[in-house]
Structure 1
């Protein structure tokens, strides 16, 4: 007697095997007319399909592709429910060179709502979100913004060199501004970890240096008058008024880069910025606040703002005399 198990009967479903959609859930397969027994038969040894996650099937044998793993992870978390790829997998999709390729990752983090009843399983790690960010579409998939993906990744990364490398690439590669990164790290309560704080300090220093370079470029590229760079302002024989990144003494116009780190004391720091600005403006000095993001995304527009402030100086009353010192 021949006891060799019979191969599963081929199913007449060419629309499922023509390469257009090779990752489906059990509910989707049933919607195509398959029974649970027929689905199970296709996944037995020697069958053409495989179950890769609970209720999720890949309609071929052999290792799933990176795209199929991502699709399977999202389908496991529920089609039609808010879910997005985050963590290292999201950074790989955002083209981070310091992150291993998707196929080399042993897990894929998926961000879901806090109340979802899902468990991590296989290579899918569930990350619950109190606040759900707006996803970005990358290769047709919902992916967490870089700053959020970075914070979710760093909850698991403890190597200081890796942390510093990821944070540096986020800023140097133009993926996001330092402020948005620090805001997400603060939300994830990661700023209490010494190796993260050390990397953040370097990140903020690098972010300020990049913003200063763009400010220099703006003055040069749009033929603005040369200002005095990085100076302190003081009343003659009086109090220190504060430092500014660029100052045009003849027009009494100052530019200040807003590179605050959004930590727990953000409100107090913003109040200090506001007090300084109001004090300078009472003295007749126009203060133009520019964020690193504006310098990155709209350099010409920021040059126009500064040029307008310089030209308007002829219509204003003369400013108070201030002492300008290098800082």
Structure 2
């Protein structure tokens, strides 16, 4: 009796939970390298998606297939490392996470093209990984990996890091401006944290990025001002003087504030400046005003978004405390 030399039919077709599998996952299902190679022959039911990653279907890869394939490729253990790769998805991704434009698309950004339209998917891995970019996978390295956010089981770089990696890959000023503006306008993140990440990535020297950052800070200020108006209204605080320049009667300027209650001498300043100038500038202005008896409350956009009720209590308490302290120096409030 002649023994059949053809490869045995692979077992995982009906056993695996996803149609994109790594070679390690296929081995864990009992599929040999020879069986895998046979299934990937021209006209076969499988195809090689990326080195060591297979699509168990002859059709073109979908968005999910490409994202999972990129993560499996980037998350495979280093050469020589011993590791059992279970069939479940997230455990096989290692420390890899999607970043850049692909991550923004998966977060739900309307200004980012859909994953299927992208020529590449950026994946973030440790700097020590010896891994090459290949086909549609672009490898980006980090000395210290951030903690990923998971969307439907897919590990994504934190929004600010994904934005910085996306900006690093773009040369079109209008696209950079659109994605940064959407990040702030839709409440994904605060301008200061985005600028900080762009600075860390050494992107603020690019002229088109500088222009986009200026627009980002303007957008962030407009959003924060809207939240401040809403906090005063919804928590029934007295109406302040909005956006005024404080000065001494002789004309010496004391700096601008976003809201000012003259009788209790309480002022609010929004923390919407760039990180480089914010701390020094605010500290100097506050010290000068408080020497004159004006209480200055610094409010960040994040606090207005997440803790408006607590902020309203802080402001109301500051106004009540004015009754127990020495009267403030006479200060003139001028439109700015």
Q: Could you state the TM-score of these two structures normalised by the residue count of structure 1?
A: 0.91
- Partner residue of 2:19 out of 18, 22, 26: 22
What is the match of residue 3 of structure 1?
Answer: none
Return the offset for 1:19: 5.9
Q: Does residue 188 of structure 2 align to residue 188 of structure 1? A: no
Residue pairs, 1:1-327, within 5 angstroms? 9-11=8-10, 13=11, 16-18=13-15, 20-78=17-75, 79=92, 81-237=94-250, 239-262=252-275, 266=276, 269-327=278-336
Cα RMSD (Å) = 1.8
Q: Deviations over 1:241-267 (max 9, x none)?
A: 2111111111111100011212xxx2x
Q: Is the 8 A contact 1:230 1:245 kept in 2?
A: yes
Q: Is the 8 A contact 1:8 1:42 kept in 2?
A: no
SS in 2 for 1:175: coil
Return the offset for 1:80: 5.3
Q: Deviations over 1:176-228 (max 9, x none)?
A: 11111111111121111111111111111111111111111111111110111
**Structure 1 unmatched runs, 5+:** 1-5
Following TM superposition, where does structure 1 have runs of at least 4 consecutive aligned residues deviating by more than 6 angstroms?
Answer: none
Greater CA deviation, 68-77 or 271-280?
271-280
SS in 2 for 1:318: coil
Q: Is the 8 A contact 2:63 2:115 kept in 1?
A: yes
Q: Is the 8 A contact 1:7 1:46 kept in 2?
A: no
Q: Is the 8 A contact 2:123 2:139 kept in 1?
A: yes
Q: Could you state the TM-score of these two structures normalised by the residue count of structure 2?
A: 0.89
SS in 2 for 1:184: helix
Q: What is the alpha-carbon distance in structure 1 between the residues aligned to residue 161 and residue 134 of structure 2?
A: 22
Return the offset for 1:8: 5.6
Q: Deviations over 1:109-143 (max 9, x none)?
A: 00111111110001000011134222111121110
Q: Is the 8 A contact 2:74 2:93 kept in 1?
A: no
What is the match of residue 86 of structure 2?
Answer: none
**Structure 2 unmatched runs, 5+:** 76-91
Q: Deviations over 1:11-69 (max 9, x none)?
A: 2x25x435622222112222222221122112112322221111111222211221121
